[in-house]
Amino acid sequence: MADGQKVYEIPIGPIHPALKEPIRFTFQVEGERIRGVEVRPGFAHRGIEFMGLKRNLIQVLYLSERICGICSISHPIAITLAVERAAGIEVPPRAQYLRVIFSELERIHSHLLWAGVAAHELGFDTLLHLTWKVREEVLDVLEELSGNRIDYSIPIYGGVRRDIAPAQVPKVEAMVRHYRGLLEELLDAFLRDPSVAARTRGVGVLTPEEAEALCAVGPTARASGLSKDVRQDRPYLVYGELGVRAITPRDWGLEPRGDVYDKAVVRLLEIGQSLDLIEKCLDEMPEGEITSFPKIPALLAHLKKAEGEGLGWHEAPRGEVIHYIRLEAGVEEPVAWKVKAPTYSNLMSWVPMFRDQEVADIPIIAASIDPCMCCMDRVHVVRDGSGATLLMEELLKLSRAKTERVLRGLSPAGGGA
């Protein structure tokens, strides 16, 4: 703010019609150009982890599903993997394939949802209605397979809760065929359309160096050309056998530039990748059990005995999601539960992306990382009745003061260490 005459501050949010979820931006604007931005998250904090510590693990599973309505397979998969590692539970091969099928179906619906939102932010509402109309087909398949249109309640510790019946397989295959034809049309409407390219090329650029330094994940990182995908880098379930490869704009024959256009390229091509994976899974899926604990009381008893800690990771549609859990023998509740959602890693890429952009591009740049505040918000600082920002140094000072306080209380002389 060296030149106070020319630079103005525009606050957007926490609640604003242009934002889908609460977050506060403070833009420093010079004319039409954004010179800087401050991002303040924390408005969608619901204390989910704390609630989880008061429930048994089966209840926590459904609580984790409700962290985010769109990633309602990703969070349960990450937490089941974490608990299975902690409690030493094996997952039958068929259940692993079924989990992959459900998570790829979720990826398709999530990316189509994003494509619609992005088109809407560009003012291209025809495309919004088209993408959301075709999104219904994958939701119908999910409803057919799981019984719910959203929040599928499919993974459980040790397997999955529902099998794909032989009669349902043709319906899934029909959906895959339908989307293959449709994808060409969508690629045409998005990527070969001159007006979309005019609004997204060179807008919201995140260079590979910045993406690497800021630890961006998911399509945000891949659009900058980083070959970064948890399914490829640290395979879990059966992703290793399926041979997943991170998709970058190079697959569309373009050198990655890291702008909004590239992010659309990556997400749309990933729909095709998910279709391939679903088809491959249906082909290769072995017969057999779908869970190693068909009886719930046996599962509850096993989890109560379990002791240890586990980490579960999954490539959600928005990037890497990690759940950490610690179990103690004799208690049904987890003693620690930590959730890291993809938006948490992607949030800071907004700062370089907004630099020197126009005010009119704020909505599309904000939407381009596919943010999910309710996934991310794990903390909200309230001090002296007002929302305050605590910096690293302050936190360190508080921590040292507490150590001193604790030590004083512990030492018999009361004098401190």
User: Are 299 and 282 contacting, i.e. CB atoms less than 8 angstroms apart?
Assistant: no
CA distances from 181 to 88, 115, 168, 280 (A): 43, 17, 21, 18
Least distance (Å) between residue 296 CB and another protein: 4
Nearer to another protein (CB atom), residue 144 or residue 307: 144
Tell me the window of 36-44, 184-192, 258-266, 314-322 that interacts with another protein (CB under 8 A). 184-192
Nearer to another protein (CB atom), residue 133 or residue 405: 133
Residue in the structure block whose two tokens are 């001159």: 194
Residue in the structure block whose two tokens are 């990633």: 71
Among 39, 40, 193, 328, binds another protein (CB under 8 A): 193
How many C-beta atoms lie closer than 10 Å to residue 376's C-beta?
A: 26
Nearer to another protein (CB atom), residue 6 or residue 129: 129
Nearer to another protein (CB atom), residue 128 or residue 217: 128
Q: What CA–CA distance (Å, rounded) separates 349 from 354?
A: 9
Site for another protein in 311-350 (CB under 8 A): none
Omega before 92 within 30 of 0, i.e. cis: no
Site for another protein in 247-306 (CB under 8 A): 296-297, 300
Residue 292: partners with Cβ closer than 8 Å, 6 or more residues away: 89, 90, 91, 92, 158, 159
Residue in the structure block whose two tokens are 């398709």: 108
58 belongs to the binding site for another protein (CB under 8 A): yes
Q: Which of 51, 53, 95, 52 is nearest to 77 (CA)?
A: 95
178 belongs to the binding site for another protein (CB under 8 A): no
Tell me the window of 138-146, 236-244, 280-288, 401-409 that interacts with another protein (CB under 8 A). 138-146
Q: Is 312 in a helix, a strand, or coil? A: strand
Helices assigned H by DSSP within 88-229: 93-121, 125-146, 169-191, 194-200, 208-213, 218-223
189 belongs to the binding site for another protein (CB under 8 A): yes
Site for another protein in 65-84 (CB under 8 A): 65-66
Nearer to another protein (CB atom), residue 9 or residue 188: 188
Nearer to another protein (CB atom), residue 151 or residue 289: 151
- Local structure of residue 33 (DSSP, 8 states): E
Give the sheet arrangement for strand 33-40, strand by strand. Answer: 7-12, 24-30, 33-40
Two tokens at 164?
A: 């794909």
Two tokens at 382?
A: 């309230």
Among 7, 22, 36, 62, binds another protein (CB under 8 A): 62
56 belongs to the binding site for another protein (CB under 8 A): yes
Nearer to another protein (CB atom), residue 65 or residue 104: 65
Among 6, 133, 201, 405, binds another protein (CB under 8 A): 133
Q: Report strand pairing: 155-156 vs 7-12.
A: unpaired
Least distance (Å) between residue 58 CB and another protein: 5
Among 9, 185, 284, 394, binds another protein (CB under 8 A): 185
Among 192, 255, 283, 383, binds another protein (CB under 8 A): 192
CA atoms within 13 A on the CB side of 161: 19
Least distance (Å) between residue 246 CB and another protein: 29
148 belongs to the binding site for another protein (CB under 8 A): yes
54 belongs to the binding site for another protein (CB under 8 A): no
Window 81-110: contact mask with another protein (x via CB under 8 A): ------------------------------
Q: What CA–CA distance (Å, rounded) separates 81 from 305?
A: 18
Angle at 41 between CA 396 and CA 128, to 5 degrees: 155
Residues that bind another protein (CB under 8 A): 55-56, 58-59, 61-63, 65-66, 126-127, 130, 133, 136, 143-144, 146-148, 151, 153, 161-162, 185, 188-189, 192-193, 296-297, 300
